[in-house]
Amino acid sequence: MRKKIIAGNWKMNKTFLTSRELLLEVIHGLSNDVLDKTEVVVCPPFTSLALASELIKDKKIGLGAQNIHQKDDGAYTGEISAPMIKSLNCQYVILGHSERRQYFGEPNHLINAKVKNALKNEIKPILCVGETLEEREKNLHLKIVDEQVTLGLKDLSVENMKNVIVAYEPVWAIGTGKTASPEQANDMHVAIREAVENLFGKETADNTRILYGGSMNDKNASELLAKQDIDGGLIGGASLKADSFIKIINSAAK
């Protein structure tokens, strides 16, 4: 049985003060019963990680960063490394998000280096993959996503894969209000699981959690999460509203 994960990607939103407000609301709105059934992760911006770490100290809520550099330290002005986020108790890091691929030019081989560095530092990478609208219209979505999975997970071991989470986020569904239908999403999750199986075998593929992301909200979450191969959600916009995020988590716990 794959335990569901609901992760909130706050992206470049929330100051120190408003992070505190949001996180306190989320903490107070979640019961222990729900937190036992579902893994919950919050990924605030770097500037709020220390604060978040303190606020969730005694709670069953995980903490993730939204990016890391591929090296542990050095002369890389403005960058943040895995040991730095580890020192703030981050257990997860989002890598290969389409916004980083698109706006910061991150190619698959760089994302692979970051994935390896996260694992080396005992941080669980959430590897994001997904096609653009143009790629889907040209019927290239399966090929593109297979490539992102294969290159993103290159040279990893079966042992490493116990700590890897994949997120399927179709670029055309992110922040647009257009969700992939539960069938469309599930089909892609099956394809991703097959790609993982080709690389690491069936047992690893069966145990790998694959999250869906892209306009998931409290209205459509239940239907998406009911699908066999959808093991949770990576939530953007709806994770910025405590009530919506809590409702999504509650529906994952059912």
Alpha carbon 191 to its chain centroid, in Å, reads 18
Catalytic residue from among 39, 106, 131, 169: 169
Q: What is the 3-state secondary structure (H, E, C) of 202-249?
A: HHHHHHCEEEECCCCCCCCHHHHHCCCCCCEEEECHHHHCHHHHHHHH
Distance CA 106, CA 104 (A): 6
Q: Tell me which residue has tokens 């992110």.
A: 174
175 binds ligand 13P (CB under 6 A): yes
Cβ proximity of 148 and 96 under 8 Å: yes
Instruction: Report, in Å, the least distance between residue 232 CB and ligand 13P.
Output: 12
97 is catalytic: yes
Indicate the angle between helix axes 242-253 and 16-29, nearest 10 degrees.
40
**200/249 with CB nearer ligand 13P:** 249
**62/213 with CB nearer ligand 13P:** 213
218 binds ligand 13P (CB under 6 A): no
**42/200 with CB nearer ligand 13P:** 42
Within 33-72, which residues bind ligand 13P (CB under 6 A)? none
Catalytic residue from among 69, 97, 141, 189: 97
Q: Which stretch binds ligand 13P (CB under 6 A): 71-79, 81-89, 147-155, 214-222?
A: 214-222
164 binds ligand 13P (CB under 6 A): no
User: 215 CB contacts (<8 Å, ≥6 apart)?
Assistant: 173, 174, 175, 176, 177, 178, 179, 236, 237
Q: Binding residue for ligand 13P (CB under 6 A) from 118, 235, 246, 248?
A: 235
215 binds ligand 13P (CB under 6 A): yes
User: 148 CB contacts (<8 Å, ≥6 apart)?
Assistant: 96, 108, 129, 130
Q: Which residue ranges make up the site for ligand 13P (CB under 6 A)?
A: 9, 97, 169, 174-175, 213-216, 234-238
Residues serving a catalytic function are 97, 169
